[in-house]
Amino acid sequence: MEKDIKKILLSKEDLDLICKKLGNTISNDYKDKELVLIGVLNGCNPFMADLMRYITIPLNVDYIVVSSYHGKESSGVVNLKKDIYIDIENKDILIIEDIIDTGRTLQMISELFSHRKANSVEVCCLLDKPEGRVIDFNAKYVGTSVPKEFVVGYGLDYNEYYRNLPYVGVLKEEIYTK
């Protein structure tokens, strides 16, 4: 795996600091609310696992599975493959995602939960790729921005691989052009 990485963007230590900062902010912002973290599988894992341990207020967790990506290019169509189990009416939803690129996935998911009478729906993303945006959608909480390059590790994949790297790195172009 290591040989396929062009450069490391975020080390283990950088990622821990990001989770700590976001966790503090979220704990503060949601202290009088009914917080429910909804992770977007599979990319939210391990970010969500690390982030939630820095959130110090009571919360519930659930997960959804969507598909929009095939290899390196976004397909533009977002399918809900697995829904949540819990009732979110009057709850304060925080969607946890690995990266926001075109913005389509998160816009679709946010609309879905808003229609179910959640009290509030916000998004927390580890990474933001602002240059990739094709619709006007932004996350309230963002770990950090990344350039318009294909990144993997710490949950982010290329064809389902590299999710287990402990850091976020840029994938060598020859991997997805071969």
Residues annotated as catalytic are: 101
How many binding residues for Mg ion (CB under 5 A)? Answer: 1
Q: Hey, which residues between 3 and 62 contact Mg ion (CB under 5 A)?
A: 43
Beta bridge partners of 79: 67
Tally the C-alpha atoms within 13 A of residue 80's C-alpha that lie toward its C-beta.
13
| Residues of this chain, 52-91, that bind ligand IMP according to CB under 6 A | 68-69, 74
Which DSSP symbol is given to 20? H
Cβ-contact 156, 162 below 8 angstroms: yes
User: What end-to-end distance do the CA atoms of the chain give, in Å?
Assistant: 16
- From the list 6-14, 52-60, 81-89, 93-101, the region that binds ligand IMP by CB under 6 A is 93-101
**Residue of 113, 141, 150, 154 interacting with ligand IMP (CB under 6 A):** 150
Chain residues in the site for ligand IMP (CB under 6 A): 43, 68-69, 74, 97-105, 129, 150-152, 156-157
